[in-house]
Amino acid sequence: MTTVHRVYNFSAGPAVLPLSVLEEIQRDLISLPGVGMSILEISHRSAPFERILAEAEADIRTLAGIPASYKVVFLQGGASLQFSMVPMNLLTPGSTADYIDGGSWAEKAVKEARKIGNVNVAATTKGENYARIPRQDELKLTPNAAYVHMTSNNTIEGTEYKDLPEVGNLPLVSDTSSDMFSKPIDVTRHALIYSGAQKNMGPAGVTVVIIREDLLQRSQKSLPTMLNYAVHAENGSLYNTPPAFAVYTMGLVMKWLRREGGLAAIEKVNVRKAGKLYAEIDRTGFYRGTAQKAQRSLMNVTFRLPSEDLEKQFVKESTAAGLDGLKGHRSVGGMRASIYNAFPEDGVDALVGFMREFEARRG
């Protein structure tokens, strides 16, 4: 194995992967042990790949404690395709879907759903720049809504649900793209969970959808086949060629996560990592957190500096110091440190050190 230089990668996604996983991929890329061919070369109908797929699903089920009454499917098209697939499959004619609009990605989900059917925005915090997620008492839910859609972690604004919204018997659909498997998740309170893999679960190219079996009945035969959840579920994610390399890599990340102790163990590390950054942000007032404190994300830590000039300087100097990807999303500006599961704690310490030093020089 060659030793290579790696910077601290604060990217919001695709994001840092565990080094041990990258090394395993490198080691086995030319020839999978016992197979004699690369994962990039084998048929998706071959026994070795079916095993890889089955193990990835089994590890996901174990990690999240997914009951047998839920299907797990691996799709393509990113979380963005789910913005369309969810209403195409679940928003039956004549019914209304409720959307909780707590961030820019939720807003995009609303926009797509409106193309398919009736949408009620149950609450929005857009007027507050999405600095918080709507409160329970603000939700105006539709009786018998087809489902309620939420975004568990707002990647751009840096807020995150600490408790799931109460939606009674309505099916809860959650976009968990940016906090999936960063902490335990109560699958049974959801009807459908979807997550693009490229933040906490693996590389870009695969999207995990966990769907309660009874909802599959809503998928109409008239839907384009590739956009039909029931088809993918019936075919065990092998209706067509799946993104084999992405599934394989995600499988390795799931094994890594199990070795780390699973979701409760990783949550402790994530709380500690984020805690260090928020403590630094709050220390003097030079840095200013943009998310309301009670809902601060463990994954995407957003903050501003006293001026845009200082922010530009901060990005430039931090990048030069080997702290990559701290520039905030173009729609909100400022800084964003994405510190997903695989982001090393010493990288958080390095950023805290850099923030102190920068403030001492420029504050």
Q: In the complex with ligand PMP, which residue's Cβ is closer, 175 or 311?
A: 175
H or E segment and range at residue 159: strand 159-160
Q: Cβ 141 to ligand PMP, closest distance in Å?
A: 21
Of 165, 196, 202, 347, the residue at the interface with ligand PMP (CB under 6 A) is 196
Q: Which amino acid is at 126?
A: K
CA distance readout (Å), 258 to 45, 58, 181, 183: 27, 11, 11, 13
Piece of the chain touching ligand PMP by CB under 6 A; list 135-143, 174-182, 262-270, 278-286: 174-182
* 80 is a site residue for ligand PMP (CB under 6 A): yes
Residue nearest to ligand PMP (CB): 78
Among the listed residues 59, 71, 101, 105, the single catalytic one is: 105
Is 105 an annotated catalytic residue?
yes
Within 111-156, strands assigned E span 118-124, 147-151, 153-154
Stretch that binds ligand PMP, among 32-40, 52-60, 172-180, 285-293 (CB under 6 A): 172-180
Tell me how far apart the alpha carbons of residues 91 and 277 are, in angstroms, rounded to a whole number. Answer: 41
- Asked if residue 78 binds ligand PMP (CB under 6 A), the reply is yes
- Asked whether the beta carbons of 173 and 100 are under 8 A apart, the reply is no
The footprint of ligand PMP on this chain (CB under 6 A) covers a number of residues equal to 11
**Contact set for ligand PMP, span 118-147 (CB under 6 A):** none
**35 exposed, middle or buried (CB, 10 Å; 0-12, 13-18, 19+)?**
middle
Tell which residue, 80, 121, 84, has the closest CA to residue 99.
Answer: 121
175 is catalytic: yes
Query: Residue 135 in contact with residue 142, Cβ under 8 Å?
Result: no
The residue (of 155 and 302) whose beta carbon lies closer to ligand PMP is: 155
Query: What is the DSSP code string of 43-103?
Result: -TTSHHHHHHHHHHHHHHHHHHT--TTEEEEEESSHHHHHHHHHHHHH--TT-EEEEEE-S
Strand arrangement, sheet containing 300-304: 288-289, 300-304, 335-338
Distance of closest approach, residue 152 Cβ to ligand PMP, in angstroms? 8
Q: Where are the beta strands (DSSP E) in 178-220?
A: 192-196, 207-212
* Residues 190, 172 contacting (CB under 8 angstroms): yes
Residue bearing tokens 């939720």 = 106
List 17, 56, 73, 79, residue binding ligand PMP (CB under 6 A): 79
Q: Does 13 bind ligand PMP (CB under 6 A)?
A: yes
Residue tagged active-site, from 175, 183, 256, 327? 175
Distance, in Å, from the CA atom of 120 to the CA atom of 97, rounded to the nearest integer, reads: 6
Closest approach of Cβ 193 to ligand PMP, in Å? 12
Q: Verify binding: residue 151, ligand PMP, rule CB under 6 A.
A: yes
Q: Give the one residue of 124, 159, 174, 178 binding ligand PMP; rule: CB under 6 A.
A: 178
Least distance in angstroms from the C-beta of 151 to ligand PMP: 5
**Which residue in the set 89, 125, 155, 237 belongs to the binding site for ligand PMP (CB under 6 A)?**
155
Nearer to ligand PMP, 78 or 306 (CB): 78
105 scored as a contact of ligand PMP (CB under 6 A): yes
Site for ligand PMP contains 302 (CB under 6 A): no
Neighbouring residues of 188: CB distance < 8 A, sequence distance ≥ 6: 67
151 versus 159: smaller Cβ distance to ligand PMP: 151
Member of 57, 98, 112, 175 binding ligand PMP (CB under 6 A)? 175
Which residues bind to ligand PMP, rule: CB under 6 A?
13, 78-80, 105, 151, 155, 175, 177-178, 196
Which residues are the active-site residues? 105, 175, 199
